[in-house]
Amino acid sequence: MLARGAKRRVLRGLARLARARGLVLLVGGDGRAALAARAGLHLPDRVPARGLLPFLLARRAGAPWALLSMAVHGRAALARARRLRPDLGFVSPAFPTESHPGAPALGPLRWAALARRLPAPAVALGGVGARTAGRLPWARLAGLAAIGALRGG
């Protein structure tokens, strides 16, 4: 576990690298850390975010780097997304996934229903790979995200 100062240095270094390469850095669940790094913020579902209000105020003031993404697993997350107006929603798990064994998968129809009601572009996450991606409704799909499908081996 890194000490707080070491975490800040690592985050600042990642932020510099991301900016230099034209990438977007999203900090998970910590609005103050995202502000310090001049990075975007990703809000997990069902977990309260720390330092959310200062980040949202910077976003409202027009900070161009203050992108907001959210995990969307169900109706409660949709209601939160309607209030916060994220730039992107990760709708998941689209299909059964090794990273969350036993978690109920949405499947293409329920994934589409959530994506349709999301007030932001929807990205499919969870069990997404070469064999499953084509089963999703491409009209609602802004992107695909994967963890296990990108592992080598």
* pLDDT tens, residue by residue, 71-88: 999 999 999 999 999 999
Q: How far is CA 58 from CA 7, 43, 125, 153, in A?
A: 22, 16, 28, 42
Q: Render pLDDT for 83-108 as a digit per residue (tens, 0 to 9).
A: 999 999 999 999 998 888 888 999 99
Instruction: Report yes or no on whether pTM surpasses 0.75.
Output: yes
Structure-derived torsion over alpha carbons of residues 100, 103, 104, 110, reported in degrees to the nearest 10: -50
2 pLDDT tier (thresholds 50, 70, 90) = low
Adjacency order of strands within the sheet including 122-125: 26-28, 40-43, 68-72, 88-91, 122-125, 141-145
146 pLDDT tier (thresholds 50, 70, 90) = confident
DSSP 110: H
Does 110 have pLDDT greater than 90? yes
Q: Would you kindly state where each structural domain of the chain is located, as residue ranges?
A: 1-66, 69-153
Structure tokens at 97: 């996934």
Instruction: Quote the pLDDT of residue 153.
Output: 47
